[in-house]
Amino acid sequence: MQRSTATLKRDVANKLLRQIAAELGLDEQAVILNCMGIRAAESPARSKKQRLAIDMRTSANSRMVLTWHPIFEVTDREVWQEIATHGLEYHPVYDALIPRLSCVFCVLAPFDVLVRAARLCWALGLPLPARYRDLEAKIGHRFKQSHSLAQVYAEAERLEREEGPLVWNRGDAVRQHLGAGAADDYLARVALAA
C-alpha cells in the first residue's frame, strides 16, 4: 500500500539528497531541507505527520535532513481557490471528479471513487476495470476487505446503465469546490491566457 509512495517518490528523493550531500564534500554535517507538497486533508495518515521533522531514515553523519510540508494546513477549498484565482492548469482527471491523482484503483480510495475511476476508464477506452476484476478473481484475493473490484465493476455498470457514459467538462472540479460562478470566472481567465 505505501510501496508506491516510497518507491516512486520518497526513495528517489532520498537518493538525490544523499548524492547532494556527497557532492558538497563538506567537513561538517550538511543541513538539507526537503520540501514536500503533502497536505493533512489528503488522508488520515498524512494528517498525523508533522509540518517540520528530522528525517531519521535519510539523515546520517554527513547530513541532517529536515522534511518540511509547507502547504500542510492548506484545505482543499484553498487549493482550488488558488487555482481559480490565478487561472492555473490542473490535471483533467480532477474534472471527472476524481479527488486525487493516484493509481487508477488506489487501495486508499473510497468505494464511490473507485466506481467513478472504472467509469472514467471506460469513457477513455481503457480496459483496466475488467483486467483488475479478472485478476482479483484469478488470484482469489479481494482488493479491499470492505469490497471487491467485482463489486466496484458491478456498481459502475449499474450507473452506466442508469446515467449513461461518464461525461465531464473543463472547470467541473472548480465548479464542485467553489461553485458555478467561480468555474465561469476560471474558464474566462484561462481563455484570456491562451
**The residue count for the chain:** 194
Look-up: residue for cell 520540501? Answer: 35
Q: Indicate if 109 and 166 belong to the same structural domain.
A: yes
CA distance 64 to 34: 10
As beta bridge partners, residue 103 has: none
CA distance 95 to 35: 27
For the ranges 24-28, 60-64, 78-82, 106-110, the one whose mean pLDDT is highest = 78-82
| Cα–Cα distance measured from residue 178 to residue 73, given in angstroms and rounded to the nearest whole number | 19
Shared domain check, 86 and 58: no
Q: Is residue 36 located within the same domain as residue 120?
A: no
Residues 56 and 29 in one domain: yes
| Percentage with pLDDT > 90 across the chain | 68
Q: Which residue has the cell 471513487?
A: 113
Q: Is residue 193 domain-resident?
A: no
* Whether 98 and 49 share a structural domain: no
**Which residue range(s) make up the domain with 13?**
3-68
Question: Per the domain annotation, does 31 fall within a domain?
Answer: yes
In a domain, 10, yes or no: yes
The reply to whether 156 and 87 lie within a common domain is yes
Q: How many structural domains compose the chain?
A: 2
Query: Taking residues 7-13, what's their average pLDDT?
Result: 74
pLDDT digits (tens, 9 = 90+) for 55-98: 998 888 888 999 999 999 999 999 999 999 999 999 999 999 99
The single-letter code of the amino acid at 112 is D
Contact 33, 63 (CB under 8 A): no
pTM: 0.79
From 68, 99, 114, give the residue that closes a domain. Answer: 68
pLDDT digits (tens, 9 = 90+) for 153-188: 999 999 999 999 999 999 999 999 999 999 999 999
